[in-house]
């Protein structure tokens, strides 16, 4: 073998053996999250991490480092879509990445989030009772009563859990559908968190 060949082989080995940082495995977290919420809905609260962290990165750092490196959901779509070949890999329709759809979806998502918080408030205020069910696509009620019996927390805590879990599951399902139909991470084009953090970054960058 020539010297050049040996050198090439060495580089190849280095590339293959590149140590992956821990945050490249966060797709596992996405799966673990839904598994935990299946057994106890209080774990749904952990999803707030995925809401707050990107905002901290955007507001404090002015970047989308969370989306770019840490988003477990995006990674999951990549693992399923590219590595396990569950995606057609076709281009998504143009309107899906358009401004009006992105901001429209963000507005819709925030409205739904708000109504979920209001429902939680009603349980807190005693005007509503705890519904042990999750709602898929904001429409279909699925009984989920095994995930909660009683805890040291008041009922509204669990109500928020059910509501938040519904939101996370619904958005992941939408993401999985567009992953299968179009590109692996098509969800990213209209992900409300992505739209929000990019908006914040653009505002910050203007100054």
Q: Which residues in this chain contact other proteins in the complex, by CB under 8 A?
A: 57-58, 62-65, 67-69, 74, 78, 82, 89, 91-92, 94, 97, 102, 182-189, 191, 194-195, 197-198, 200-202, 204-205
Q: Which is nearer to other proteins, 72 or 194 (CB)?
A: 194
Structure tokens at 66: 């969370």
C-beta of 145 vs 202, nearer to other proteins: 202
Residues with Cβ within 8 Å of 54's Cβ and at least 6 positions away in sequence, in order, are 64, 66, 67, 71, 193, 194, 196, 197
d(CA 151, CA 197) in angstroms, rounded, equals 35
Q: Yes or no: say if 68 and 206 are a contact pair by the CB < 8 Å rule.
A: no
Residue pair 125/90 in contact by the 8 Å Cβ criterion: no
Nearer to other proteins by Cβ, of 37 and 194: the residue is 194
Nearest CB to other proteins, comparing residues 132 and 204: 204
Q: How far apart are CA 182 and CA 145, in angstroms?
A: 35
What is the closest distance, in whole angstroms, from the C-beta atom of residue 185 to other proteins in the complex? 5
Shortest Å, Cβ 65 to other proteins: 8
Q: Which residues contact 123 (CB under 8 A, 6 or more apart)?
A: 129, 130, 155, 156, 159
* C-alpha pair distances (Å), 42 with each of 47, 156, 171, 176: 10, 11, 19, 24
Q: Which is nearer to other proteins, 134 or 196 (CB)?
A: 196
Query: With respect to other proteins, which residue has the nearer C-beta, 29 or 148?
Result: 29
Helices marked H in the chain: 3-16, 27-39, 48-56, 65, 72-78, 99-125, 155-181, 187-190, 192-206
- What is the smallest separation between the CB atom of 52 and other proteins, expressed in angstroms? 16
Minimum Å gap between C-beta 61 and other proteins is 8
Q: How far is the CB of 22 from other proteins (least distance, A)?
A: 15
* Cβ 181 to other proteins shortest distance, Å: 12
Token readout for 97 is: 């990445």
């Amino acid at each position: 073998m020539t010297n050049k060949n040996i050198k090439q082989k060495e580089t190849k080995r280095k590339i293959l053996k590149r140590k992956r940082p821990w945050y490249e495995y966060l797709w596992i977290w996405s799966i673990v999250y839904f598994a935990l919420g299946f057994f106890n809905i209080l774990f749904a609260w952990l999803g707030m991490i995925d809401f707050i962290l990107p905002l901290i990165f955007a507001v404090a750092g002015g970047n989308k480092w969370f989306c770019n490196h840490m988003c477990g959901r995006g990674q999951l779509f990549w693992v399923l879509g590219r590595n396990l070949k569950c995606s057609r890999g076709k281009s998504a329709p143009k309107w899906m990445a358009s401004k009006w759809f992105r901001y429209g979806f963000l507005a819709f998502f925030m409205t739904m989030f708000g109504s979920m918080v209001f429902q939680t408030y009603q349980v807190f205020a005693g005007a509503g009772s705890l519904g042990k069910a999750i709602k898929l696509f904001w429409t279909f009620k699925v009984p989920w009563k095994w995930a909660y019996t009683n805890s040291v927390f008041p009922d509204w805590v669990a109500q928020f859990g059910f509501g938040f879990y519904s939101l996370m599951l619904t958005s992941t399902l939408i993401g999985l559908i567009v992953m299968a139909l179009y590109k692996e991470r098509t969800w990213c084009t209209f992900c409300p968190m992505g739209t929000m953090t990019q908006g914040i970054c653009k505002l910050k960058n203007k100054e």
